Amino acid sequence: MTLFNDLIDGYRRFRETCWVDQRERWKQLSHAQSPKVMIIGCSDSRVDPAQIFDTSPGEIFAVRNVAALVPPFETAPGYHGVSAALEFAVTQLKVEEIVVMGHGECGGCQAALHSAFDGAVPGEGGFISHWVGLLDEARDGVIAKHGEGEDALHAMEHAAIRVSLANLRTFPFVVEREQAGTLTLRGAWFAIRTGVLHLLDNATGEFNAA
C-alpha cells in the first residue's frame, strides 16, 4: 500500500529525473499554461488521464470527481466546483476540446445503478447519493433495458458520459463556442480490464475502440 512517505520518495525520483529532463518545459509553464484539451474524468485512482493519454505537464486541464459528472448549468447559491473549472477552461484558457472520460468498474456509477446510498446522511454516503442522483433518470432507462448485472453497469457508465455531455450543453458559453466551431465535445470510456479506450461516435451514439 502506498502511503504519504512513499509519495515523497516518488517526488524525489521525479525531482531527480523527470523535472530535470523537462526543465525548459517547467520554466515555460511557470509563466502560463495553454492546454488545448480539458478532460473531465473520474476520481478513481486507476484512471489518471495524464497516464492514460501519456501527456506532458501542461497539456491537459483536468477535473476529476465521482463518476466524471457534470451538473447542469445553474446560478443558485452554492459552491459550483465543476462549473467554475469549466468556465475557467472555456472562457479563460480557451480550450478547443472537452473530453468526458468515464471508465469500467466505476464505483460511482455502481452506486447510482443500485441506489446504494439512498437515504444516507452526509458522512455515511449522503453526499455521494446526492451527487450520483444526477443519473437517476438515466438509471431507470438502463435498468429497464439491461437489468442490474454487469451489462447494466457498463451501460450505466456509458449513460453517465452522455448525461455529462448533455449537461455541458446547458452552459451558454459552451453552446456558443460549440456552435461557432471553436469548441468540440467528446465522450470516452476506458476499460480498466483490457486497457482499451473507447470513443463515443456522435453519429451512432455507440462507443468504439480507439
Domains in the chain, start-ordered, CATH in brackets?
1-32 (no CATH), 35-209 (3.40.1050.10)
Question: What's the pLDDT score for residue 2?
Answer: 84
Active site residue 44: yes
Separation between Cα atoms, residue 38 and residue 49, nearest integer Å: 10
- Which of 103, 139, 154, 158 does the annotation list as catalytic? 103
Separation between Cα atoms, residue 17 and residue 23, nearest integer Å: 10
Active site residue 42: yes
Active site residue 21: no
- Which of 42, 109, 154, 158 does the annotation list as catalytic? 42
What predicted TM-score, i.e. pTM, was given to this entire model?
0.95
- Which of 12, 13, 23, 46 does the annotation list as catalytic? 46
Query: Which residues does the chain have with pLDDT short of 70?
Result: 1
Question: What's the pLDDT score for residue 53?
Answer: 98
Question: What's the pLDDT score for residue 166?
Answer: 98
Q: What is the DSSP string of the chain?
A: ---HHHHHHHHHHHHHTHHHHTHHHHHHHTT----SEEEEEE--TT--HHHHTTPPTTSEEEEEEGGG--PPP--SSS--HHHHHHHIIIIIS--SEEEEEEETT-HHHHHHHHTTTTTPPTTTTHHHHHHHGGGHHHHHHHHHHHTTSHHHHHHHHHHHHHHHHHHHTTSHHHHHHHHHTS-EEEEEEEETTTTEEEEE-TTT--EEE-
Beta carbons of 159 and 141 less than 8 angstroms apart? yes
- Which of 44, 109, 154, 198 does the annotation list as catalytic? 44
Question: What's the pLDDT score for residue 1?
Answer: 67
Locate 183 and state its grid cell.
Answer: 469548441
Active site residue 18: no
Strand order in the sheet with 97-103: 60-65, 37-42, 97-103, 184-191, 196-200, 207-209
Active site residue 109: no
